[in-house]
Amino acid sequence: MNSDLNMAANRLGITMRIKRNSPTLGEAEAAAAAEAILSGWVARGRQTAEFENELCELHGLDEGHAVAVSSGTAALYLSLWLLQAAGNRVALPAYAGQSMLHAVRAARGNPVFVDSCSPGDPNVDLHAVRASTPDLAIVPHMFGIPQEIKSERFPVIADCAQALGASFRGRPAGLMGTLAVFSFGPTKMITAAGAGGAILSKERSAIDQIRDYLTYADRDDNKARFNFEITDVQAAVGRVQLRRLAEFCERRETLFQIYRQSGVPFADASDPSSRPVRSFAVALSSKMPGLFEHLRQHGIPAVEPFAVRHLLGGSENENAYAFARTALSLPIYPLLADDDCAFAAETIRQFVR
């Protein structure tokens, strides 16, 4: 996405002062990847097992309650498969990414689109989820803003792709719902060398079933299986990144507070019991089209998190549509310099004052 923005800007004679995003990778990650490569074993193995165990430890679970996979979308698909989504109604947010819908379709579920909480809150309306009478639901913690997921009469997949490290009332986001899924792509809270995902559950038996699905070679039972495995090279990098998660969260929070000086509201938790992580910095402005152009002219690569044309469902999801028309995502990643972040905030302030 960043390269596309830069090419478009260059055609117009504009130089991007700030990168849209940049993974925070360094010598420790390079050394971990090299060690895995030189070990002579690069497929799923010891590094992957340790990565899974460390994800469990982060969430206060015993070993064996997490399984790492090739991507966040794969984690979603496998969770839907486990919960028998085929032929059943799957509630999912209207304000969400296409990958969520792709996973539901791949699992042969019937998507039911549900509106957001309010024009200023991107999280799905859980009351509307219940009213949609689903057989199961996907509830993401949008932009790292966790919402409380209580016990429901139907299974819930907590989508934590943007919320690793977030909590609600002291409870990690990954412990809410029947299953939790994570993504370790290059723009997420941590990355497993550019890709990867994981599934977490308080029920060990659920993870055992998914692990059995992944063990596809030399099986004699004729069950459907598929290769969604992560490699030890990815897991080795992911382990280093996981150890740096607290550092990343603190750095992102610092940048988020600098953005707040711009004078415009940002998508944020409304409940004091919610402890977000700043995977995104999403400014909300009724002047969004003009602000977008103003930032671009100053070399700041802001983007719409989800354009109206990319929303799921129809225009009857009024809150999702209202949010999409006012939301603008600004660069926020640990390597972003304070001065660049402050420049972006001041550029916004000058436009809206």
Say which DSSP state 231 is in. P
Least Cα distance to 29 among 237, 184, 233, 248 occurs for 237
Per-residue pLDDT, averaged over 174-201, amounts to 96
Q: Could you read off the pLDDT of 35-89 as tens digits, one per residue?
A: 999 999 999 999 999 999 999 999 999 999 999 999 999 999 999 999 999 999 9
Q: Could you read off the pLDDT of 82-118 as tens digits, one per residue?
A: 999 999 999 999 998 788 999 999 999 999 999 999 9
pLDDT of residue 9: 45
Q: Could you read off the pLDDT of 188-205 as tens digits, one per residue?
A: 999 999 999 999 999 999
Confidence of residue 1 (pLDDT cuts 50, 70, 90): very low
Cβ neighbours of residue 295 under 8 Å, at least 6 residues apart? Answer: 301, 302, 328, 330, 344, 347, 348
Orientation of helix 46-58 relative to helix 232-243, angle to 10°: 30
Per-residue pLDDT, averaged over 309-336, amounts to 92
Question: For residues 71 and 220, which has the higher predicted lDDT (pLDDT)?
Answer: 71
Whole-model pTM over 0.85: yes
Confidence of residue 208 (pLDDT cuts 50, 70, 90): very high
Q: Rounded to an integer, what distance in angstroms lies between the CA atom of residue 9 and that of residue 90?
A: 40
Confidence of residue 14 (pLDDT cuts 50, 70, 90): low
pLDDT of residue 16: 83
Residue 170 in tokens: 């002291």
**What domains lie within the chain, and their CATH numbers?**
2-18+244-352 (3.90.1150.10), 27-241 (3.40.640.10)
Indicate whether 2 pLDDT > 50: no
> For residue 187, how many C-alpha atoms fall within 13 Å in the half-sphere facing its CB?
16
